[in-house]
Amino acid sequence: MGDQSGAAADRWHLRSVPRDRAARYRAHGWWDDATLGETVAKGLGTRGGSGFRVRSKVRPWQGTFADVDRAARALAASLHAQGIGPGDVVVIQLPNWVEAGIAFWAAAYLGAVVVPIVHFYGAKEVDYILRTTSPDVIVTADRFGHGDYLAVYESLLAARPGPRWLVVGDTPREALPAAATPFASMLDADPIAGPLAVDPDSPAVVGFTSGTTRDPKGVVHTHRTIGSEVRQLDAFFPAGGPPQITGAPVGHFIGMLNAFLVPLLRDRAVNLIDVWDPAEVLRMMREERLGVGGGATFFLTSLLDHPDFDDELLALMPYAGLGGSSVPVAVTERATRMGIKVFRSYGSTEHPSITACMIDDDQVKRLTTDGRALPGVDVRLDADGQILSRGPDCFPGYTDAELTAAAFDDDGWYRTGDVGVLDDDGYLTITDRIADFIIRGGENISAQEIEELLLGMDAVAEASVVAAPDQRLGEHAAAVLRVREGRPAPTLDEVRQHLATAGLARQKWPESIHPVEELPRTPSGKVQKFRLRQQLRDGQLDAGAR
């Protein structure tokens, strides 16, 4: 262990960026030689007085960046004394608690590879990730919500002895499994002096895709690509406004960057909440004068739709940056009518920041497109309209070398799997996923086109259109609808009349309606359409009349 910063890269057969392109990235400042540990040390060294607060019913905490930094350096020292260093893999599965920040910053100081796992992933997903990454250190809660991490990890680690397992929580040491060590006991060491040296081209973070497909993919990012992404996020997000609440799970790739890295580049406190409860978020906003600046569409609409939302709270949301999932025009127009200045962006775990609108861009562009290519990023469309991208924040590969080979062409263009159009000004609009077409009698139907129109119905809060089996046509469009509170679900006839009025071709109309209370989601708020398709095949969704 330790002193093996290139081992993970060799194991995962990552791509390298051609010299001329790498030189261009450096020349323009999109890449630098700073490692994750150096970025953390610099940010914490200059912003130690910034506030760090966790809102939680089970593990609240309040302090400063300097307090968290001291604990992170102590943890890093304890782990380093046990042989952990550059290139070793640290898995972190924690809710939005202060210990997640301590563990992340400690791993950065050590030059370790951080593998965040969303706190509500269960044994099946965790087992897959552990097999894929072979961690040297694992940090978990003891329990949270419905999750019993002690039982899950005791079973999983029985078959793979070796990783150091640190447990956060109130379980007494004597009640922990034999393989577990209390996290708090690792914070008594003299703090490490500074970050350990590591190759900036080596892996820094492995973010597992959120599960819009059946098998998660391990997306590997280097110190350079993470550094570039954090600077991009900081550059296009507006300054000013009230302090922001972070509700996205820090076990998700972008959630972790937004919580623990972006605040190091500007004077911005960290305000975490470990359960996204719209009523509780609105209460906190009102009492503590906090804001919510966007994220996936769901986070915004869950607040706007809540009966407690009013003009006082609206004043705390001067802007909303939306991305991470499809952004319906109906949502951007609604927020704009309310006085919220909306801007959109587009990216993925693989290539986090491809395009974005700036807050001062033309309103039509901000509301209806996903923006222009960000500095250093190249975007083009292939013959089928698929979006291809390259850039300084684009990942070098997956943990599965075969997936890496399939994702890139010979010139280093990443095949996003998204379909879009580019206007004459270079603004990109996502129109669909390649995997999200419904093939009805041999004709491709865009699910997103139908969803956009369905959101124009007053009763519809969210719409997800997926392919349902059809004995005659192979597939037909099925609309799964979440209806606004207190409103009746529209009938199939009402949906068809609405789409007819909108001018949508008849063959694209949904042929079944399925009202649901909640849609299955990834941690970043995306709807898990594969689960909806499976539920349709299994007859688990109650269908309206066809």
Q: What is the pLDDT of residues 398-411, one digit of tens each?
A: 999 999 999 999 99
| pLDDT band per the 50, 70, 90 thresholds, residue 2 | very low
Same-domain check for residues 35 and 180? yes
Report pLDDT for 9: 58
- Please state the rounded mean pLDDT for residues 523-541: 82
Residue-wise pLDDT for 301-314, tens only, equals: 889 999 999 999 99
SS3 string, 406-441, reads: HHECCCCCEEEEEEEEECCCCCEEEEEEHHHEEEEC
pLDDT at 542: 66
**Domain CATH for 509:** 3.30.300.30
Q: Looking at residues 531-541, what average pLDDT do you find?
A: 85
CA distance 204 to 289: 35
Residue 481: what pLDDT? 95
Domain end residue (candidates: 414, 433, 452) = 433
Same domain? 349 vs 461:
no
Which residue would you say has higher pLDDT here, 312 or 252?
Answer: 312
Looking at the predicted structure, is the pLDDT value of residue 325 above 70? no
Please report whether residue 104 resides in a domain: yes
- 208 with 294, same domain: the answer is no
| Residue 244 falls inside a structural domain | no
Contact (Cβ atoms closer than 8 angstroms) between residue 438 and residue 457: no
End-to-end CA distance of the chain, in Å?
61
- Give yes or no for residue 545 having a pLDDT over 50: no
3-state secondary structure of 309: coil
Q: Confirm whether 311 is domain-assigned.
A: yes
Q: What is the largest CA-CA distance in the chain?
A: 71
pLDDT score of 366: 94
Domains in the chain, number:
3
CATH code of 346's domain: 3.40.50.12780
pLDDT digits (tens, 9 = 90+) for 485-512: 889 999 999 999 999 898 887 888 999 9
Say which amino acid occupies 20.
D
The region of weakest confidence among 273-287, 297-311, 439-453 is 439-453
The verdict on residue 149 lying in a domain is: yes
The structure tokens 């030689």 sit at 33
Q: Is residue 366 located within the same domain as residue 493?
A: no
Element (H, E) at 167: strand 164-168
Q: Domain boundary residue among 405, 433, 461?
A: 433
Say how far apart CA 1 and CA 274 lie, in whole Å. 33
pLDDT at 522 over 90: no
C-alpha 139/C-alpha 147 separation (Å) is 14
Q: Domain residues for 398?
A: 276-433
Domain boundary among the residues 225, 242, 262 is at 225
Give the up-direction half-sphere exposure of residue 282: CA atoms within 13 A in the CB hemisphere. 19
Give the number of residues written for the chain. Answer: 546
Angle at 302 between CA 267 and CA 537, to 5 degrees: 125
Measured CA to CA, the distance from residue 104 to residue 455 in angstroms comes to: 39
- The helix (run of H) or strand (run of E) holding residue 523 is none
Q: Per the domain annotation, does 241 fall within a domain?
A: no
Residue 20 binned pLDDT confidence (cut-offs 50, 70, 90): very high
Whether 442 shows a pLDDT value over 70: the answer reads no
If you average pLDDT over every residue of the chain, what do you get? 90
The kind and range of the H/E element at 40 are helix 36-46
Per the domain annotation, does 266 fall within a domain?
no
Q: Taking residues 160-187, what's their average pLDDT?
A: 95
Residue 8 has pLDDT above 70, yes or no: no
Q: What is the pLDDT of residue 528?
A: 85
State whether 429 and 498 are in the same domain.
Answer: no
Task: Tokens for 90, please give them.
Answer: 């640290």
DSSP state for residue 187 in the 8-state scheme = G
Written as one string, the DSSP assignment of 289-308 is: --B--EESHHHHHHHHTSTT
* Digit-coded pLDDT (tens) for 333-355: 999 999 999 999 999 999 999 99
Mean pLDDT score, 362-386:
94
Calculate ∠ Cα 271-276-277, nearest 5°.
115
Radius of gyration of the chain (CA): 23
Query: 479: helix, coil or strand?
Result: strand
Q: Which two tokens stand for residue 229?
A: 């992404």
